[in-house]
């Protein structure tokens, strides 16, 4: 056979094979190139977000979950559009809004009822005793808010103490190494520091409703990926219910993340309230706008926000995806 003819025959064979491969890929995969990537979610280590990690551990989370080292990192990821969904406090939501971003609340996750606190090293046993002392806190709206409310409870101002910024991942080491006299922190670090002999001098139990966590999205994510968000929220509720009813099993599943004993894990859960579907629906229809307005007023008065916000303006930021 002439070499030229052989080359043409070989070329036809390769072309047929390639066409067959393309056709098979199309039949098997459909329009796979247009299939969206999994939702990207960012959180830091906080009990209210643990249901997401529990769902992932059980193989029931259809999303890409990222545990970042601090709330500051979560905010940065959301600002820079590196994630589609983020979980953080209402103080941080208001900060984002005040900066000119466009965050929307898809879910009220929890209320803190003691899980955020100020832990002092012995011999300090009261907020008043911390005058002139070094207090560590995360450099976020939430850290600043709890510090201000803590100091106000004893008639102190920020100038009466020496605030030092630490990422939440460094709270425990800063306390244990004597770099601070007290630290504004939260679970699971709170339980570990109490077990190490720390004194709790203030907690979110003294400011009910003012520390809440929310699941936040952009308008584009809510519009383009609503079915996936609804599925994510349903997954969160199922995992939260499992965590409530079987806390010891959940503690075992999440031990590598929390580093808590069974008793400490249950103690951490007692310091907050996981919002139920019915509660979330009621909140997003009415009450939560008033709560946000109250917190925004406190933050504005403290110079933490440059704008004031009405309850109606804030209700316009709710996306009601979480209907039961």
Instruction: Determine the pLDDT at residue 284.
Output: 86
pLDDT number for residue 209:
86
pLDDT tens track for 275-284: 999 999 888 8
Task: Tell me phi and psi for residue 300, to 5 degrees.
Answer: -65, -45
Helices (H), the chain: 3-29, 50-57, 71-79, 90-98, 141-152, 171-176, 189-195, 219-224, 226-245, 247-253, 255-258, 262-270, 277-282, 288-301, 311-315
Q: Give me the pLDDT at residue 34, please.
A: 61
In sign, the C-alpha dihedral spanning 122, 125, 130, 136 is positive
Residue (of 236, 116, 131) closest to 184 by Cα position: 116
Give yes or no for a contact between 235 and 60, defined as CB atoms under 8 angstroms apart: yes
Amino acid 45: pLDDT: 94
Report the alpha-carbon distance of residue 157 to residue 97 in Å, rounded: 26
Evaluate whether 42-112+217-315 and 116-206 have a shared fold: yes
At residue 8, the pLDDT reads: 42
CA distance 147 to 314: 24
| pLDDT on residue 139 | 87
Q: How many residues comprise the chain?
A: 324
Residue 4 pLDDT: 46
Question: What's the pTM?
Answer: 0.83
Superfamily of domain 116-206: Periplasmic binding protein-like II (3.40.190.10)
Q: Which CATH homologous superfamily contains domain 42-112+217-315?
A: Periplasmic binding protein-like II (3.40.190.10)
Return the pLDDT at 17: 42
Q: Where are the domains of the chain?
A: 42-112+217-315, 116-206
Could you identify the residue written with the tokens 């103490």? 161
HSE-up of residue 168 (Cα within 13 Å, Cβ side): 24
Task: Write out residues in the chain with pLDDT < 50, as ranges.
Answer: 1-33, 322-324
């Amino acid at each position: 056979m002439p070499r030229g003819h052989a080359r043409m025959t070989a070329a036809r064979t390769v072309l047929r094979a390639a066409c067959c491969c393309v056709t098979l890929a199309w039949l098997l995969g459909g329009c796979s190139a247009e299939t969206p990537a999994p939702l990207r979610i960012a959180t830091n280590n906080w009990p209210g977000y643990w249901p997401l990690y529990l769902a992932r551990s059980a193989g029931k989370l259809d999303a890409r979950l990222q545990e970042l080292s601090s709330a500051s990192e979560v905010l940065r990821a959301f600002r820079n559009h590196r994630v589609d969904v983020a979980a953080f406090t209402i103080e941080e939501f208001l900060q984002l809004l005040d900066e000119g971003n466009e965050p929307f609340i898809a879910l009220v996750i929890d209320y803190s009822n003691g899980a955020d606190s100020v832990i002092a090293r012995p011999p300090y046993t009261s907020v008043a005793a911390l005058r002139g002392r070094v207090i560590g806190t995360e450099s976020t709206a939430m850290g600043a808010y709890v510090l201000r409310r803590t100091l106000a409870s004893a008639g102190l101002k920020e100038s009466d103490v020496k605030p030092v910024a630490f990422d939440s991942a460094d709270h425990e080491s800063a306390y244990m190494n004597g770099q601070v006299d007290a630290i504004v922190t939260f679970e699971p670090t709170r339980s570990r520091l109490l077990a190490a002999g720390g004194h709790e001098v203030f907690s979110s139990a003294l400011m009910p409703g003012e520390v809440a966590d929310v699941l936040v999205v952009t308008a584009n994510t809510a519009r383009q990926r609503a079915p996936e968000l609804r599925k994510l929220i349903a997954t969160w509720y199922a995992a939260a219910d499992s965590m409530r009813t079987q806390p010891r099993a959940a503690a075992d599943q999440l031990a590598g993340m929390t580093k808590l004993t069974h008793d400490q894990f249950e103690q951490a859960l007692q310091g907050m309230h996981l919002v139920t579907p019915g509660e979330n629906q009621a909140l997003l229809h009415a009450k939560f706008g008033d709560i946000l307005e109250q917190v925004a007023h406190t933050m504005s008065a403290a110079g933490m926000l440059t704008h004031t916000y009405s309850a109606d303006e804030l209700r316009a930021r709710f996306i009601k995806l979480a209907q039961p």
